[in-house]
Structure 1
Amino acid sequence: MEEVLKLKKATYHLWTFMTSKLISSFGAQVYAFAISFYILQVTGSATSFAMNLICNLLPRTLIAPFAGYVVDKYSRKVIVITAQIASSFAIAGLLTVSLTSGLSLVAIYTTTVILSIASTFSGIAFSSSITGLVDEARIQKAMSMNQMSISFAAIGSPALAGLLYGSVPMPVFLIMYLIASIIAVILESTMNFKLFAKRKEVVEGEPKESMWQSMKAGFSYLKLQPVLMTIIWISLFINFLFGSFEVGYSFILIEKLNIDSTHFGLTQGAFAVGMLVLSIYLSVRKEVKYPLLVSKRGILIFGILIGSIGLPLIQPMQYGVMIAYYAVVMFGFGATLIVVNTPLQVMMQKMIDDDYKGRVFSIIETMAMALMPLGVVIFGLLYDIFPAQWILIVTSLLLIGVVLVLARPSVVRKAHPELAASKSVKVETVSE
């Protein structure tokens, strides 16, 4: 009977988690859209706009290791709710400033920093709590539904924000985000983060680890997990090389091919649709049997797609055909991103000990976030010097080469011993 009640509660968690994520993501993206336009319209400065991006990225990179320590040390539910309340206060503070003295860049930057720190704590705490919220059989469903909510928000929020911007004042956007944040707090407070958790009980009188010792223990734990280290190295290279796509896609379509802004938005929308379609598919199908192998194949497709972005520069196309081509490519990118990420996330959720999840996920986030800006800067310089199509082709080949080396058959067999066993059984059956 108790097991049935736990499974019912887990089902409630699935839908509550998805709803909470959808509402908070929708509010955050509407706010981000409005603030970005506001900064560019008021200042006309790309530097002021970039400063807001730095205020979002830099705190995440710096605070993630500390957040990982806190998440493994204290109640994850308290951390998630506290972070969401802090976000609500930050938005309420900015709303008060806008109504009393008018928005200023200092107020916007300060709010962005607070929201960035809060989302880092909330994100790592939630990532570390998936196996505590839902039963093991539905981890892939939970990860897919989480991604579905982000995809829905990515499709719907720019459209809504675009309709509202210019017709309603900025305080309306802030009120929308504040309401979304408060609803998320209420939903999250009803969830039991310890339902399936397997965390070690704190023993009275046991000597406490310092923060530095705890973080070192996280690195030591990672070193003992060769498959996890492989996943982290692959993630690092992907995040760095993905800078060629981040910079190159907009550069080629807007600067080189003179694509209309509406059609450019259409191709970017195809990316979110691709993510949504594959998230729905993975949420209803059975769990992927060999996640590292599936992700390896997905990254190889990534490599081909990155190279394909430069094709219209080599082989000119009619304008309509070109838009359709890029819509298909971006749909492929979105779909492949889910194929690569979701199985690996499920695999890591099952592999990593509950007591180390916060630190391990924070290490992954820190390393990935640190290399992304570097990749964007380096590729930004390269696109000013070399032909765009050749940069993309070289990046494509590098990405394919990296994954073939790092996820070579011996590594895949180490991650999935049952794969080697099933192959040997097939060979024996054939020989008989």
Structure 2
Amino acid sequence: MEEIVKLKKATYHLWTFTISKLISIFGAQVYAFAISFYILQLTGSATSFATNLICSILPRTLLAPFAGYAADKYSRKGIIIGAQIASSLAIGGLLIFSINAELSLIAIYITTVILSITSTFSGVTFSSSMTGLVDEARIQKAMSLNQMSISFATIGSPAVGGILYGTVPMPVFLGIYLTASIIAVILESTMNFKLFATRKEVVEGAPKESMLQSIKEGFKYLMKQPTIKVIIFISLIVNFLFGAFQVGYSFILIEKLKLDPVHFGYTEMAFAIGMLLMSIYFSSAKELKYPLLVSKWSIVGTGFLLGAIATPLLMNMSYFGTVVFYIIVLFVFGVSMMITNTPIMVMMQKTIDDDYKGRVFSILETGSMALMPLGMVVFGFLYDVLSAELILITSGVLLVATVLVLARPSVIRKAHPELAKRKVETTPDPQPE
């Protein structure tokens, strides 16, 4: 009877978590979209726009290890609700400021920093809490629903942000975002983060680790997990090389091929739709037996897609053909990203000890957030001095080579020993002469 009650609560968590994430992510992306327009309209300066991006990225990079420590040592529910309340207060403060005076860059930058800090603590803690919120059999469904929320927000937020920014004053806009944030707090407060948790009980009188010692222990734990270590190394390299796509894609389509902004928007929408459809599939599909193997070949496919982006630069294609080509490529790109990420995230959720999840996910967060801007800077420079075709094809080759080396057959066999056993069982015995 108790098990049935827990499963019902887990089902409630699935949908509450999804709605909460959809509201908070959608609100954050609409806010980011509108505030970017506001900064550019207010100053006309790319430097001011870039400063706001730095205010968003830098706190996430620096504070992720501390967020991981907090997620492993303190109440995860308390951290998530506290972070969401802090977000609401920051938005409320900016709302009051906008009513009494015109928004200044300093006020926007401070709010961006606070929102970045709170989203770091909330994001790392939510990632660490997944196995405590839902039963093991539905972790893939939970991860897929989370990604579905992100995809919906990615598709809808530019349109909603554009409509709101063009039709309502900034105080009304901020009031809508504040309302969404408060709803997210209410939903999160009804969730039981310890439902399926397997964290060790704190023993009274036991010597306490310092924060630095605890973070070091997280690194030590990671170094003793060869499969997880490989996954994180692959993730970091993929994040860096993905800069070739992030910088080059817009540059090629807008500057080189002169695509209409509306048609460029269609290609970006195709990317989000690919992710969304694959999220829906994974939310109802059976869990994959060999997630690392599936992700390996999905990354190989992504490497080929990265090189394929250069195709219209290498051969003559009509304008219509170019638009259709990029819509198809970006759709497949979105699908391949989900095939890469979802199985790996499920594997990490099930493999990493509950007491170390926060610190391991924070290491991944720190590395990713550091390498993404680095990749964008490096590739931004390279696109100014080398041909776009050469950069994309080389990046694709490096991506394929990296995953083939790091996820070589011996690593796959360690991650999935049952796969090696299955091969032995299906190998026919030699026939006597």
TM-score range, shorter chain: over 0.9
Provide the C-alpha distance between the structure 2 equivalents of 1:177 and 1:431, rounded to a whole number of angstroms.
72
Provide the C-alpha distance between the structure 1 equivalents of 2:365 and 2:41, rounded to a whole number of angstroms.
32
Provide the C-alpha distance between the structure 1 equivalents of 2:93 and 2:134, rounded to a whole number of angstroms.
35
Is the 1:94–1:107 contact (alpha carbons within 8 Å) kept by the matching residues of 2? yes
1:354-365 matches, within 5 Å, as 354-365=354-365
Is the 1:244–1:376 contact (alpha carbons within 8 Å) kept by the matching residues of 2? yes
CA distances 1:258-306 after superposition (whole Å, capped 9, x unpaired): 1111111111011110000000000010001100000001100110111
Q: Which residue is 1:23 aligned to?
A: 23
1:20-99 matches, within 5 Å, as 20-99=20-99
Counterpart of 2:294, as a letter, is V
Provide the C-alpha distance between the structure 2 equivalents of 1:365 and 1:431, rounded to a whole number of angstroms.
54
Q: Which residue is 2:130 aligned to?
A: 130
Q: Cα distance, 1:430 vs. partner?
A: 9.1
Provide the C-alpha distance between the structure 2 equivalents of 1:175 and 1:389, rounded to a whole number of angstroms.
46
Is the 1:62–1:366 contact (alpha carbons within 8 Å) kept by the matching residues of 2? yes
Provide the C-alpha distance between the structure 2 equivalents of 1:176 and 1:399, rounded to a whole number of angstroms.
42
Q: Tell me the C-alpha RMSD between the 2 structures.
A: 1.1
Q: Percent identity?
A: 69
Could you say if the C-alpha distance between residues 401 and 76 of structure 1 is closer, same or farther in structure 2, counting changes exceeding 3 Å? same
Q: Which residue is 1:421 aligned to?
A: 421
Could you say if the C-alpha distance between residues 204 and 329 of structure 1 is closer, same or farther in structure 2, counting changes exceeding 3 Å? same
Q: Cα distance, 1:163 vs. partner?
A: 2.0
Provide the C-alpha distance between the structure 2 equivalents of 1:166 and 1:347, rounded to a whole number of angstroms.
44
1:299 aligns with 2:295: no
Provide the C-alpha distance between the structure 1 equivalents of 2:320 and 2:372, rounded to a whole number of angstroms.
33
Provide the C-alpha distance between the structure 1 equivalents of 2:276 and 2:398, rounded to a whole number of angstroms.
28
CA distances 1:30-69 after superposition (whole Å, capped 9, x unpaired): 1111001111111111111011100000000000011111
Counterpart of 2:101, as a letter, is S
1:366 aligns with 2:360: no
CA distances 1:412-431 after superposition (whole Å, capped 9, x unpaired): 01000001111111114797
Counterpart of 1:303, as a letter, is G
Q: Cα distance, 1:161 vs. partner?
A: 1.5
Q: Which residue is 1:386 aligned to?
A: 386
Provide the C-alpha distance between the structure 2 equivalents of 1:127 and 1:117, rounded to a whole number of angstroms.
16
CA distances 1:344-395 after superposition (whole Å, capped 9, x unpaired): 0000001100000000100111111111111110100000001101110010
Q: Which residue is 2:166 aligned to?
A: 166
Q: Cα distance, 1:164 vs. partner?
A: 2.4
Q: Which residue is 1:290 aligned to?
A: 290
Provide the C-alpha distance between the structure 1 equivalents of 2:190 and 2:427, rounded to a whole number of angstroms.
52
Q: Which residue is 2:194 aligned to?
A: 194
Q: Give the 3-state SS of the residue equivalent to 1:80 in structure 2.
A: helix
1:204 aligns with 2:204: yes
Provide the C-alpha distance between the structure 2 equivalents of 1:164 and 1:92, rounded to a whole number of angstroms.
18
Counterpart of 2:122, as a letter, is S
Provide the C-alpha distance between the structure 1 equivalents of 2:396 and 2:124, rounded to a whole number of angstroms.
31
Counterpart of 1:345, as a letter, is M
Provide the C-alpha distance between the structure 2 equivalents of 1:147 and 1:294, rounded to a whole number of angstroms.
18
Q: Cα distance, 1:171 vs. partner?
A: 1.5
User: Which stretch shifts more, 38-47 or 128-137?
Assistant: 38-47
Counterpart of 1:267, as a letter, is T
Q: TM-score, normalised by structure 2?
A: 0.98
Provide the C-alpha distance between the structure 2 equivalents of 1:136 and 1:334, rounded to a whole number of angstroms.
26
User: Which stretch shifts more, 313-322 or 166-175?
Assistant: 166-175
CA distances 1:93-112 after superposition (whole Å, capped 9, x unpaired): 00111110110000000000
Provide the C-alpha distance between the structure 1 equivalents of 2:180 and 2:357, rounded to a whole number of angstroms.
28
Q: Give the 3-state SS of the residue equivalent to 2:166 in structure 1.
A: coil
Counterpart of 1:126, as a letter, is F
Unaligned runs of 5+ in 2: none
Q: Which residue is 2:407 aligned to?
A: 407
Provide the C-alpha distance between the structure 2 equivalents of 1:319 and 1:176, rounded to a whole number of angstroms.
40
Could you say if the C-alpha distance between residues 308 and 104 of structure 1 is closer, same or farther in structure 2, counting changes exceeding 3 Å? same
Is the 1:248–1:388 contact (alpha carbons within 8 Å) kept by the matching residues of 2? yes
Provide the C-alpha distance between the structure 2 equivalents of 1:141 and 1:158, rounded to a whole number of angstroms.
27
Q: Cα distance, 1:343 vs. partner?
A: 0.4
Counterpart of 1:156, as a letter, is G
CA distances 1:186-227 after superposition (whole Å, capped 9, x unpaired): 000000000000000011100100111101100010010011
CA distances 1:311-359 after superposition (whole Å, capped 9, x unpaired): 1010121111111111111111111111101100000001100000000
Q: Cα distance, 1:165 vs. partner?
A: 2.0
Counterpart of 2:380, as a letter, is G
Q: Give the 3-state SS of the residue equivalent to 1:30 in structure 2.
A: helix
Is the 1:30–1:173 contact (alpha carbons within 8 Å) kept by the matching residues of 2? no
Provide the C-alpha distance between the structure 2 equivalents of 1:414 and 1:431, rounded to a whole number of angstroms.
30
Provide the C-alpha distance between the structure 2 equivalents of 1:258 and 1:403, rounded to a whole number of angstroms.
34
Provide the C-alpha distance between the structure 2 equivalents of 1:417 and 1:138, rounded to a whole number of angstroms.
23
Counterpart of 1:159, as a letter, is A
Q: Which residue is 2:331 aligned to?
A: 331
